[in-house]
Structure 1
């Protein structure tokens, strides 16, 4: 705690960035693509923006529902608020897999770079978002570690206007949610509150969640200041996988909960203040200090012995940006990002292990891991932009240095808590000695853009991304491994794209090829190593077309192939060239909108998930699924609106996620049958 107080004293009033905007049109001002307020048509990147109108139309009850509208995204909903992410990738799973995708709220990462959690987007206030921005492909130049496959940035609503609103959602299977927003323009202060309760479709599941966001704006004579805060709390009773081939198709089995003991409790808090001013009448300066705190407790029902984990982190950070006009056609953006985080983790098992004599002998009761990590991160970056007539060139780079100071509070090695040995070769869990680990990486990027017509561009970019090993990969070892000598995962990407808009059509299309090296994974000896390689190649298309004055269509479609590029033998099979598991080659979301009356509109959405392999050996497969959703919105008065959504309209039996392990065989998170969500919104 003393270290944290010291860091606050140093960083608390030193400051980064963010700016604002709205809508999903390509000429809309955005934040994520450049950490500056520029139009997305000017950016030679693939960027999807989900507007407030789109999010309200969907009635987002889970972040996966929103990201269905993004080509290349494939979030697999687990249970409750849990999920596994995918963006231009296979579905990411495992202790450090969350490091492949950076998630943020108002430009601030939800977790520190070395302490991510695979489900961390439930700690964002996406239910009250002004928009969600999804930046695809490696973007470590702007965001540093973890931005390998892209960035998902939730932009909270500007609640500081005099408008107030209240909303109530009632749905099937005991779902209810209250939403409130209110503000005062004269005070420059606003708030948003969301309270959710969901008793669930399956036995013994349930979610209670509360989220509160505050925002304050002040325009001074020389500088403007925008400040924000978000607090979230989750209390969840979790239903795990159901097992057995095609068990998700059986109504009785789909409702069952094989892990009634599973739960998750989590709280998070973030606060930030963004200061911006004009320096020397030519340079724009943005400073953004922030504070982040999080704690979580859950049972690892998917492991033998079903141990408990408690983890947390407290940290402070600073983002800075200076935008300098060097000449009429050359601009330099540069800055330094810095962060200090103190993270902690405890895994303990209160009851004896059930199962085989080997499991009982090697997985004892008591503490398995108990450690603390002080993490320091500093990253200078710069980007030159040259623009002449219809051409634009960008050249940027970021050097990032991360240091982990790890402190182990238990006996070193694979022993019991008291230091005694386990029989049958030793205990399962192994603890490395206290140590210091450091990671340094330089991320370059080059991009070119050509405007071939008004509001239409073609672009190409070459970029590199990386992620440092997560604390879980370095310090939660197993079997005989005493030290994980890991280096950074890295990716090199090349992308070509076109995007633009006309009076009736808005579109963007991209093709990309990305190769990843030094992938971190557990080998057959249960050692963390990182000599893996993978290749990711795909085509994406997003468009919105106004068919007539009353009809409109939206499309987000992906064709991609994600493959292993390493010689690894699993169960006698060399997986080199195989599809990565949980990586469907085809994804599509199509929405047809009909403005039936001036105050009444309908939409029908089709969501397609193609078939995919559920194991690296490519011996087991899930057939994929197709879902229909019907939505209708009646604007009863200028202040009052009623929305109805019928999800899974055809009552399809499907799996949100399908998986295969040699221990359990086929296993699934079953999708909900047909269900209804009705919303009433009142503004004044």
Structure 2
């Protein structure tokens, strides 16, 4: 259906480990780029992929370990399966953070529009992924709200061809602190054109800090059938997480004391979460360069967790039920014009309850303003509809132009199930002027956004390509930002966040060398933040400028080096003041200028691969005033894999030098410096078999 340009078929250094024994260019396709399968070089934005042997070698225990190989990605791992995202951005936390990076599985958002969870990638079955694709930078034209800093798409396994009998894989892994994991996959053909596959992942870990273990189960079932020119893939995916959560440790450089770093100041904290998704992908080849893809889906999530980080430690319960349809239609005009257009629509019913079981401790002010009982109880019905189109004009064999636009309309219908205002649950007034929380009256909110895009690719030579892209992304306010108010605030007058981006890049592929270099500049406005009065505001501005490098070089028959590195500056660009300090021009906190992954790979034989990885985390400020900082760290990881017959053995030594470091450093005006300590040296061994 599409022209295939072999000159830039693999394109990627951004694709992790290529088989070292075969350095010839390999063609590859991507799914997320244009909502239909296309060659990577037919994409004018920054796209990274990790697949195949790369995922097998990483064998991640946490999605952060895979995303560390993506230029511009600087995910901060929390306790258990928690994390804070960063993609061409600071590490995102607090008001306005959740939903700034769109997370998907097979092109379907993991969470409903307006109901994000900062940790939502733990709901994907990433342990069994066949590929992880990351769009770096705004992608609102094709993907809408939340794709403001980029997109992470987990692609699930497909059913293999010519599966005549029941086949599968079984793997078992063990690690420190009573860590055990089992992965089981099986597939079989029902007929020549029909098959089924099932995947199961079971994980149990004791955690390297006191009372910080977790258990997680993930299951997926896939049915695939081809009927004439139509292929239908129907998938059921379910996850369950039961986690004992560890909080920050306090004190300047507290993470350096390995005994103290194992402490858990919040042994009572926990997170329980379940998620179920059912969807079908109908791919219809209409002939003559026309293709129709329809993806109806259902999803349901429920979560309970203790807000151990807040006075009173209230229990939050939230959930959502969604039904939606994502569609795209592609047609070509004599190979000079390609147009993809579609309509995405979704309906969601979401709820949130916050209940405090015990009286608040601490000062009289806290005891009076945060009473026990129910704080919030509301339901929100959300509706969204978004038509879009993207055209590709093939000027000639070396120049392509891209242009597109998306319009998205989102409506929230909010229903408060409690007394409105800032009273206790029974209507009793709080001391010191009123309760800390405030519940607005029933209301309706509407948001309308446009996301245009212009881009171009130009082939300087058969193995060297330039690309440029200008686009705008957006993020509608999330339900919790609109309706979980504080103090005397009666309504959140928030606008959609918007980000404008320009990027220029060059990518190339030679016999043993592949690379991509990208420079970008972004300006974000209507940034949502919580001010000194604990109000959610949306008049913030930030700027983001950076350079990213992905490079792979086979310098000898058995040896190869790879790098995914970034240098960026993220700054405040408004007149906000915090504790009498003007923030304009300051570096955004939790935003290191430099970070990256650097890898040396050795493959003496086709079936043996070893890798030494160096992870660099540059220093960064831990407060907006730029008065406190974390000095950064360097880590070494060693991985090896040996495949023989139908078996495979692998070993991973993470934090090889046993470095004391912080996964995340922060500064609080209440307690000072605080940290999520990193894990000490950890050795994981696994064995797997095909049958």
TM-score, length-scaled by structure 1: 0.95
Q: Which residue of 1 aligns with 2:537?
A: 529
Q: 1:627, 1:650 within 8 Å by CA — same for their partners in 2?
A: yes
Distance 2:335 2:606 in 1: 47
CA drift at 1:638: 2.0
Question: How far is 1:278 from its partner?
Answer: 3.0
Pairing 1:640–2:647 present? yes
Which residue of 2 is the match for residue 138 of structure 1?
Answer: 138
Give structure 1 regions of 4+ aligned residues with deviation exceeding 6 angstroms: none
Checking the alignment, whether the CA contact within 8 Å between 1:445 and 1:462 is kept in structure 2 is yes
Calculate the TM-score normalised by the size of structure 2: 0.94
Query: In the alignment, does 2:486 pair up with 1:478?
Result: yes
What is the CA–CA distance in structure 2 between the aligned matches of 1:639 and 1:354, rounded to whole Å?
Answer: 59
| Secondary structure of the structure 1 residue equivalent to 2:98 | helix
Provide, for residues 62-97 of structure 1, a one-character-per-residue CA deviation record: whole Å limited to 9, x for no partner: 010000101100000010000000000000011441
Match of 1:112 in 2: 112
**How far did residue 664 of structure 1 move?**
1.5
Alignment of 1:594-633 (within 5 A): 594-633=602-641
Provide the residue aligned with 1:55 in structure 2: 55
Give yes or no for the alignment of 1:365 onto 2:363.
no
In the alignment, structure 2 segments of 5+ residues that lack a partner are 1-11, 19-25
| Cα displacement (A) at 1:195 | 0.2
Are 1:172 and 2:176 matched, yes or no? yes
CA RMSD between the two structures: 1.4
Equivalence for 1:252:
259
**In structure 1, what is the Cα distance between the partners aligned to 2:603 and 2:43?**
32
Structure 2 match to 1:217:
224
In the other structure, the counterpart of 2:672 is 665
Q: Tell me, in whole angstroms, the C-alpha distance in 2 between the residues paired with 1:597 and 1:445.
A: 45
Change (3 A) 1:587 1:252: same
2:523 matched residue in structure 1: 515
Superposed CA deviations along residues 254-301 of structure 1, whole A, max 9, x for unmatched, are: 010000100000000111101122336442111110111100000000
Partner Cα separation in structure 2 for residue 673 and residue 452 of structure 1: 48
| Residues 160, 217 of structure 1: 8 Å contact kept | no
CA distance in 2 between counterparts of 1:506 and 1:282 reads: 31
8 A Cα contact 1:159 1:182, kept in partner: no
Q: CA deviation at 1:27?
A: 4.0
CA distance in 1, matches of 2:642, 2:339: 49
> Residue 7 of structure 2 corresponds to which residue in structure 1?
none
Q: Report the 3-state secondary structure (helix = DSSP H, G, I; strand = E; otherwise coil) of the residue aligned with 2:99.
A: helix
Provide the residue aligned with 2:236 in structure 1: 229
The equivalences for 1:260-409 within 5 A come to 260-279=267-286, 281-387=288-394, 388-409=396-417
- Cα contact 1:41–1:500 (8 A) shared by 2: no
Partners of 2:285 and 2:30 lie apart in 1 by: 20
Equivalent-residue separation in structure 2 for 1:129 and 1:223 (angstroms): 24
Structure 2 residue 186 is matched with structure 1 residue 182 = yes
Tell me how far apart the structure 2 counterparts of residues 92 and 114 of structure 1 sit (CA, whole Å).
Answer: 17
For the residue of structure 1 that corresponds to 2:130, the secondary structure is strand
Contact 2:349–2:382, Cα closer than 8 Å, also in 1:
yes
The answer as to whether partners of 1:159 and 1:181 remain within 8 angstroms in 2 is no
- How far the C-alpha of 1:385 sits from its partner, in A, is 1.0
Question: Who is 1:3 aligned against?
Answer: none
Kindly indicate whether the alpha-carbon contact (under 8 Å) linking 2:34 and 2:340 is maintained by their aligned counterparts in 1: no
Map of 1:35-54 to 2, 5 A cutoff? 35-54=35-54
Superposed displacement of residue 584, structure 1: 0.4
Distance (Å, rounded) in 2 between the aligned partners of 1:331 and 1:185: 35
Deviation, 1:598, is 4.8
**Offset from partner CA, 1:444-484 (integer Å, 9 cap, x none):** 00001101112421011100000000001000000110000
Instruction: Render the CA deviation track for 1:401-444: whole Å, top value 9, x for unaligned.
Output: 00000000111110011112111110000001010000000110
CA distance in 2, matches of 1:455, 1:402: 43
**Separation in structure 2 between the aligned mates of residue 615 and residue 383 of structure 1, nearest angstrom:** 41
Residues 455, 348 of structure 1: alpha-carbon distance in 2 compared, 3 angstrom cutoff:
same
2:658 aligned residue (616, 640, 651): 651
| Partner SS, residue 99 of structure 1 | coil
| Whole-angstrom distance in 2 between the partners of 1:275 and 1:674 | 46
The answer for the alignment partner of 1:202 in structure 2 is 209
SS class of match (1:98)? coil
Q: Give the distance between the partners of 2:189 and 2:514, measured in 1 at CA.
A: 34
Q: Give the gaps of 5 or more residues in structure 1.
A: 1-21
Aligned residues between the structures: 663
